[in-house]
Structure 1
Amino acid sequence: MTPISTRGTLAELGSVGWYATLIPVAFPIGANTSFARAVVAAQRAYESGLRLTTVSFHRVLELVPDDAGISVRSGWSNPMLSYVDAREFAGSEFFDVARGGVYANRAAAEEVLMWINRFPTATSLSVIYPDTPVAHDSVDRYVNALRSVFLEVVNGAP
């Protein structure tokens, strides 16, 4: 799932607040799938998911047949991963000089929230998660796997 903006009217464009929903981005990846193929598959899945922008994710779950193998417990939450390419921001070439960045508040930590921010000279990862042994272990494993993928891409993995 990835968040997508639902702003569409001039009034919404001029207002403050979150106008977002979640859309599915699902695609198969095999053990030997190259990064280039994965990116193409992810882009296609994202474009396909855009057709669901006006549909509530909770409504989709209500319509899933009982035999689909999808079960959601009461009080479920969906981890959030946000990616911002700040290299496109006006004045981004001055981020290092001004020690600028993209910041978020601590928010509630009963969920896992992640931000990947790409700047002209660095990429940062921020994670908020519950202070439990299971969460610490899970987030450590995820961050290490993500770091490994990033290093493969940086080092020119196919």
Structure 2
Amino acid sequence: MNNTIDGIYYDMLIMDNIKTKEDAIKYISNYLENKGYVNEQYVNATIKREHVYPTGLATKPIGIAVPHSERENVIEPAVIMGILKKPIEFCKMEDSKSKINVGVVFLLALKGENSHLNYLRNIVNYCKDEENLKKLYYAESKDEAYKIFMSQILKFD
């Protein structure tokens, strides 16, 4: 399976034993750093940005988050979806003092391709529908979740 489309790498991870938003960001960022997609500053820059500009969205039945960093920390562009076995707390995007339980994290490592906003729009449009999000979060397998991610969220056939 080729996970690269138009020069952007896509993948999805199932994340066990993640207890904090920092752990989730580290887990996905380290995965990308080991593959050569982001530099060693990416993880800390993304965590720092998440503390200043939270990315949690209170979708139902489970929240989502869309952390990202500045383009100078990206070597090659990538978008990774991580499904958490146990939800973790993120701060809400529109109210940094409010916390929500997040079960799906979309980490964006982009240099400007289609901008973060286009990805965010596709993610939010899909995840604001409760039935869609249930189908994704409770997918029976990693393959099924990946197919939803690629075809229904990102709109690749």
TM over 0.5: no
Structure label with greater radius of gyration? 1
Q: Which structure features the higher share of strand residues? A: 2
Q: Which has the higher contact order (CA 8 A, sep 6+)?
A: 2
